[in-house]
Amino acid sequence: MNSPDTTQPSTASCNKCTVALRARHGARTGAMFLPIKYSEAERWLANLGRKIAMQRDVLYHGTRHAKSILSMGVLFSADETGKVSFTRSAEEAAYWALSPRIDDEGRGAIMIFDRLLLRSRYKIQPYHDPIWDSAASWRDEAEEELWGDVINVGEYLIGLVSEPTMNRSDILVRRNRKHRLHTEARLNELLYHIPDWRCRPEEHIGGGEES
């Protein structure tokens, strides 16, 4: 488990850090910051997320597997990277929530987490992925990363908003079932080493899903 981060910057401080990061990056590389153009659907879902956040210091996580995360009580790190990615931008979370996967649940969602509670237990740090950069421009996802799994998500989850459920093809249903079996295997391995700490995240959520 990562050691807790004892520093607790405010939302205003985070925004100032974002502005400073953009300025330093531009001065160092000569590249121009490129504002991201989000779709109407992404802005709609992002606005729902901000209503749940209610000016609190939060981190957003866009996902296509919200049902699995809630039922298991764990936000597992990505197999490829070993980390969980959050963002301070509701629009960025909506972008990832509405990006289809080959094994998803047919519904995109934004999970809204209490940033200070997460930082009291996990080490979270800002991250900029250069994959989006070019020689002329660069993009800021307002990302913050956490190495490892978020255990018992109900302790940190403020709320969740989602798009309407879409009709899924048979192949997507089969792939999602395979993904869930893989995730359940990871959960069983986790429970083998840690007592059953799980609770029902729904009991801790301040706002419900949007249909």
CB 121 within 8 A of CB 4: yes
Question: What three-state secondary structure class fits 115?
Answer: helix
In the chain, the percentage of residues whose pLDDT exceeds 70 is 58
Tell which residue, 150, 163, 137, has the closest CA to residue 197. 150
Q: Element (H or E) spanning 106, and its range?
A: none
The domain ranges of the chain are 11-203
Name, in order, each residue with C-beta under 8 angstroms of 4's C-beta and a sequence gap of 6 or more. Answer: 119, 120, 121, 122, 123
Question: What single letter denotes the amino acid at residue 8?
Answer: Q
Burial label, 64 (beta-carbon count in 10 A; 0-12, 13-18, 19+): buried
Q: Residue 2's pLDDT is what?
A: 44
Residue 120, pLDDT score: 94
- Report residue 208 CA to chain centroid gap: 17
Q: Is the pLDDT of residue 150 over 80?
A: yes
Stretch 37-54: mean pLDDT, rounded?
Answer: 93
- One DSSP character per residue, 143-171 reads EEEEES-EESGGGTEEEEEEPPPPP--HH
Q: How many angstroms separate the CA atoms of 83 and 208, rounded?
A: 27
pTM here? 0.67
**Span 100-114, pLDDT tens digits:** 878 788 889 999 999
Structure token pair of residue 183: 């995730």
| pLDDT per residue as tens digits for the range 76-129 | 998 788 999 999 999 999 999 998 878 788 889 999 999 999 999 999 999 988
Amino acid identity at 154: G
CB atoms within 10 A of CB 179: 18
How far apart (Å, rounded) are the C-alpha atoms in residues 35 and 14?
Answer: 18
Q: Which two tokens stand for residue 5?
A: 């981060």
